[in-house]
Amino acid sequence: MSVVADVRSIVSRRELLLNLTVRELRGKYKGTVLGWGWSLLNPLATTIIFTLVFGFVLRVPPPTGVDGLSNYALFLLCALLPWNFLSAIMTGGMGSLVANANLIKKTAFPRQLLVISVATAGIVTFAIEMSVLLVVFLFFGVNSLFFIPALIPLLLLLALYGLGLGLLLSVVNVYFRDASHFVGIFMQIWFYATPIIYPRELVDRVIVDNPWVSTYQLDTLYALNPMVSFAEAFRDLLYHQRLPEANQMIYLVAVTAATLLLGMLAFNRWQGRLAEEL
């Protein structure tokens, strides 16, 4: 089945996708006392911890934003929320096929919908978190509401990037159950390799002792990490109130398209024996 045929099949089953998304949203905090409050408390708790450690103890200086804004917690949240969003799509998508093994064995439907429903549910959660963040910015006298039209396509672009990785990891996890453990380790490394808890400018100040590697070359290699551009783009819109650089957005579009295509091709290639492997 070609990628185009896959897309048509998914679109034709949009009602099923909606039902799976609603199920994903309802089941996320089912049985908890605070319910959806955890979607706000979790990043809040993480922000408090990182702010205490890096903002007060290690004194990592946040860059100056719009109107002289210098607030480490706001600086952190601008990149932490997108990272949590990507992580939720990747890890949730990776386990979606295994978690729905009985459904896959009994019912014929596009299996990709299970991964896509994780992404669409993540969009709802992320949209709520970003709305709260915009209100917090208003509390600090920064009105970022004018940049919502630019935030929406950036949000969707990050969702598609995460979906591509989720599709790939979901089928890998079926055939190779150790994948989740390797991905967990990789996500920790990826987190600290992304300017989330520290400003990008700190990387530019790194002095490389190796004479064969210049600081410029290291910075170029560092910039190949797509989450560097995503984190900087969200900070540009919210913290600095400026549009991201054009070459940065072109790179993100290209990487997202390639990742999504790779994920769809890999899923299509290996989905034939899912029922047997599960």
Interatomic CA distance for residues 120 and 112, integer angstroms: 12
Interatomic CA distance for residues 165 and 230, integer angstroms: 15
User: Coil, helix or strand for 64?
Assistant: coil
Higher pLDDT, 179 or 86: 86
One-letter amino acid for residue 131 of the chain = S
Parse the chain into domains and list their residue ranges: 3-277
Interatomic CA distance for residues 72 and 96, integer angstroms: 35
Q: Which helix (H) or strand (E) is 137 found in, with range?
A: helix 112-139
- First and final C-alpha spacing in the chain: 21
Q: Is the pLDDT of residue 38 over 80?
A: no
User: Average of pLDDT values for 110-135?
Assistant: 90
Question: What is the reported pTM?
Answer: 0.90
66: left (phi over 0), alpha (psi -120 to 50) or beta: beta
Are residues 267 and 171 in contact, defined by beta-carbon separation less than 8 angstroms? yes
pLDDT value for 207: 47
User: Average of pLDDT values for 99-105?
Assistant: 82
